[in-house]
Structure 1
Amino acid sequence: MISKYEWHDYAGYLHIHCGLPIIDCHTNRDHVPTKGLLERPLPPHVPQVEVCKECNTGFSLDEEYFVSFLSCVEAGSTDPSVQRNPKIERALTRTPSLAARLQAAKQITVNEYGRQQIIWLPEIERIHRVILKNARGHAFYEYGEPMLDDPVSVSAVPLISMNQNQRNDFEEVGGSYAGWPEVGSRMMTRVMTGQDLDDGWVNVQDDIYRYVVFQQGILTVRSVIHNYLATEVVWE
């Protein structure tokens, strides 16, 4: 279970997306990760951070695209009626343009054995924006530092496309720390006590979403979404 979010005095903090002083913004609480990526009912005490309301709203369309895309990949179809999540079914039915964009991402090819296979080619910039949004939230929640600079890399790769060495490297880094987090940070507490950690990863919801934040000269945030998509954001 994720530990309960503790409300802090953010008067001295900068908003993690636009960099404005949080005290000067209209704010709300944002779930990290995007709650649409989680299964209902939501786990108790999903991590939340205080963010600029305007910026948070600005991510809505990209989040809808990402969540809907992931649902279609898992279903193997953009047909609203075969989506497991009723909210996704309604979104695809209500917004034909969204359904059309997702259908355009679905490519059918023939493999070397003459069998058809589906390849999904999403609007990767939209996927990356949501991944970066969540990574900034994870970094702030665990370390208390707004990552305002652009990252040096953002990536999203299906786990199945990794070879064994790549998968091992991706998984194992989260289990060891070259340098310990700052004293007083939430991640330091996790490292010292093992709180909510599974081999170094914070498990938000079993088989649905887990993430890790670590520093080894650079700051890295990784996540695994629906045991399908591996993501990574790196800052120097």
Structure 2
Amino acid sequence: MAINLKGEAEVKEFLDNLGIEYRFGCYHEKKYDVCHLLGDYLEAIKKDFEKASKVYKTNCDEQKYAKSCYKYATYSYLGKGKVPKDQKTAFNYYNRGCEYGDTDSCLYAGLMCISSAAKSAKERDFPLGLKLLQKACSGGSAFGCHYISGMYLVGVQSPSQAEDLPKDMKKAHYYASEACKLGNPHACVNLSLMYKNGDGVDKDEAKAEQFKKIAVELHEEAAKHQRQLTFQEGIPGIPNAKGTESSPT
């Protein structure tokens, strides 16, 4: 059902009622998905990051709600909402979110284990990181699949040589295929090059062209989507279709 709100007063009333509905659903009806929505409401509408962080943390700690674990992990990683910036805490909550079934949590926990850029407080752990990224990939994370493929494309040297990940073009091809299926254009480009050069697969010019075409289509689709978003948001300072001024992001 479409909601047709006229004027600032009606919008404010609607948002206030929404907050009341979420609080009732969370605290009285014990609906944990609604508790997460309450956190999102406090974050996005009220801009009360401190209260939002507390809702996410409680919903993760007490109800094991995966998406709330992910959100609190991000607050810890960034030091947002008066939550102390703590990489170890962030990893622990990402890891818990992954255990409870959130794919994005698996992805970020895996990256924190492997990537030196993550500046994790924990030791880099390649076997655990790969396991988490594989879980993200199997859960539908295109980037997770693409990242694993990249690791196998070049091989990865770990701080402990016993945990080195050797170059393996067949595995690189497998994960690139999974990432391409999930819509990652960069993975499709890699697949095209693999078929063109015979890396991990037999040379196949037809398949090389096929995946090149898919990559181009995905890039064009992404660019078109971005143009649509920019058009709908409007130019900063110029009233948009709803009669309100858009602000720079």
> When the two structures are superposed, what TM-score results if normalisation uses the length of structure 2?
0.30
Higher RCO (CA 8 Å, separation ≥ 6 residues): 1
Q: Select the structure of larger CA radius of gyration.
A: 2
Larger helix percent:
2
